[in-house]
Amino acid sequence: MTSMRGWGPAGVVTGLTGLAVSQLVAALLSVREGPFVAVVESIITLVPGPVASWAIDFLGSRGKPVLVVLMTLSMLVLFSVAGWLWPRVRWASTLIWVSLSAVGLAAVVARNGTGRTETLPIGVGLVVWLLAMTVLSWVAGRAKPSETGSGATAGPSRRGFAVAVGVVAALGLGSGVGARLTSGRKAAIKESRRLLRIPGVTARKSPARARIGVPGVQPWRTRNDDFYQVHTALVIPAIEPAQWRLRIHGMVEREIVLTYDDLIARGLTEAWMTLSCVSNEVGGQLVGNAWWSGVLTSELLAEARPMRGADAVLQTSEDGWTCSTPLSAMTDDRNSMFAVAMNGQPLPLEHGFPVRTVVPGLYGYTSACKWLVDVEVTRFADVEAYWTERGWAEQAPVRLTSRIDVPRPDDEVEAGVLTVGGSAWRQNTGIEAVEVALDGGAWRRARVAQVNTADTWVQWAAAFDVEPGPHVVRVRAIDRDGEVQTGVVRDVLPDGATGWHAVEFTAV
């Protein structure tokens, strides 16, 4: 028989602990706001105008603190009710815990989106609540009053219950402190990044001649906030530039260890470069173009003097991810760099702060190591990298690719003259021409905007006269080596998708 006493306070302790663990997970995952703040801010945005202005008149600047206090109090009440109900009406208690999580989830999703990093803290919080309640009732029910001889009030089960509640409280306290320290550390690194002025870093707008000027075609320069992200790390590495070190070793005559300042002191090179992901499907969005600033990998590797026989560079990130890059791609005359800035800003944390590699012409998974800390010159025969262990190709130059941005699939357009547009890329080789075909007709040359590098995408456009009815438009590119983009359809695995992007639309 489960003792009925002490469950209200136990509910409060459990509630706060679940909340603290949830905040800790949110802090570790760098979610902008934990669940509590998300709920408060959601309430603020949801409050009807008249109520809000009344609150502002009546409470003035105390409005927010008052809201926080009110919310805390109602939460504490709900926690204790949920606790009290647990041994009595289990489903009603469960319903409260689940509803509280649902409110938190709704608020977080409304404010931050639906990614795993946004929703995971809420799920973890709910699990902690239900698990703690279950453990507590197990402890409370373990020793029956008749066995202890002294009734339910003073027997071992009561003590056990109190101890168990204490353990839950300690977990909560630890998580609370952990959440504070974590978000403090993250905040400190974000502040270091904000204050960082890197000599030699400049900002650029996209050159006018690179823009085709067709509405709906994605911007030639991708803003940092819009740049696609791919990484295996759940918790994004937080590295202070002052603590960062890069070790270049392996098959080299001279091993090098660099600090951040040592790296910058080498002098920066800047260039436009389009980065793309091998997992990008035909017509997909896992591609972006930025103005990068960094130190040429060829210069640093020349200092280290690779030995004869080496053909690969194993790059490792702070979180243990690896990629193996052809040594030749990091030592030839292309703009392969250890990048420190993106679009004139220090790298965003998500894009590899403080240092990441970019190599024109290679897919990210074989070259673009973020949070880079270790560079080992080696042989392909001697190493396996993260994705090559998992069935992806050892070497993967970017495939000749083109994409239609307008019209979009299933668009309804006006019959008459229609301008079709998009982008095409094959970094390190460059795009010579783009061809477009309407309804399976002859390929026609598109207009291509100018870029003075082989390492970026180009924008293209073409005008067609379309009759009312359903249509399909296809695109293919021709690179500067004269290769014509193949129409053979291949999946992204193991070394990148092929096939022509086709968009179906209707003219009315």
Ligand X SMILES: Nc1nc2c(c(=O)[nH]1)N[C@H]1C(S)=C(S)[C@@H](COP(=O)(O)O)O[C@H]1N2
Query: Which residue ranges make up the site for Mo ion (CB under 5 A)?
Result: 230, 277, 364-365
Is residue 228 at the binding interface for ligand X, with CB under 6 A as the rule? Answer: yes
> Does 371 participate in binding ligand X (rule CB under 6 A)?
yes
Task: Find the part of the chain contacting ligand X (CB under 6 A) among 133-141, 239-247, 367-375, 402-410.
Answer: 367-375
Nearest residue (CB) to Mo ion, 266 versus 490: 490
Q: Confirm or reject binding of residue 443 to ligand X (CB under 6 A).
A: no
Q: Does 364 bind ligand X (CB under 6 A)?
A: yes
**How far, in Å, CA of 304 to CA of 306, rounded?**
6
Tell whether residue 161 is a contact of ligand X (CB under 6 A). no
Six token digits for residue 148: 């202890």
Give CA separation, 130 vs 60, 83, 123, 124, 126, in Å: 39, 10, 11, 10, 6
Q: How far is the CB of 221 from ligand X (least distance, A)?
A: 14
* Residue 293 beta carbon to ligand X: minimum distance, rounded to whole angstroms: 15
368 binds, among ligand X, Mo ion, none (CB under 5 to 8 A by kind): ligand X
221 scored as a contact of ligand X (CB under 6 A): no
CA distances (Å), 332 to each of 309, 323, 337, 398, 435, in order?
A: 16, 19, 11, 17, 31
The pattern of x and - marking residues 400 through 439 that bind ligand X according to CB under 6 A reads ----------------------------------------
Sign of the CA dihedral 304, 295, 428, 404?
A: positive
CA distance 24 to 361: 40
Going through 177-238 in order, the beta strands assigned E by DSSP cover none
Residue closest to ligand X (Cβ): 364
Nearest distance in Å: CB 29, ligand X = 15
Instruction: Indicate whether 399 belongs to the interface with ligand X (CB under 6 A).
Output: no
Report the residue number, 351 or 501, with the smaller CB distance to ligand X: 351
Tell me the site size for ligand X, rule CB under 6 A.
19
The rounded Cα 367 to chain-centroid distance in angstroms is 18
The C-alpha atoms of residue 449 and residue 76 are separated, in whole angstroms, by: 62
- Return the residue of 232, 243, 450, 486 that touches ligand X, per CB under 6 A: 232
Which residue lies nearer to ligand X by CB, 435 or 455?
455
* Cβ atoms of 143 and 115 closer than 8 Å: no
Q: Which does 231 bind (CB under 5 to 8 A by kind): ligand X, Mo ion, none?
A: ligand X
User: What one-letter code names the amino acid at 438?
Assistant: L
Which residue, 230 or 256, is less far from Mo ion as judged by CB?
230
Q: Does 370 bind ligand X (CB under 6 A)?
A: yes
The contact mask relative to ligand X for 287-326 (x = CB under 6 A, - = no) is: ------------------------------x-x-x-----
CA distance 367 to 475: 28
> For residues 307 and 331, is the Cβ–Cβ distance under 8 A?
no
Whole-number Å distance between alpha carbons of 23 and 180: 9
Cα distances (angstroms) measured from residue 350 to each of 97, 226, 261: 33, 12, 21
Residues that bind ligand X (CB under 6 A): 227-233, 275, 277, 317, 319, 321, 351, 364-365, 368-371
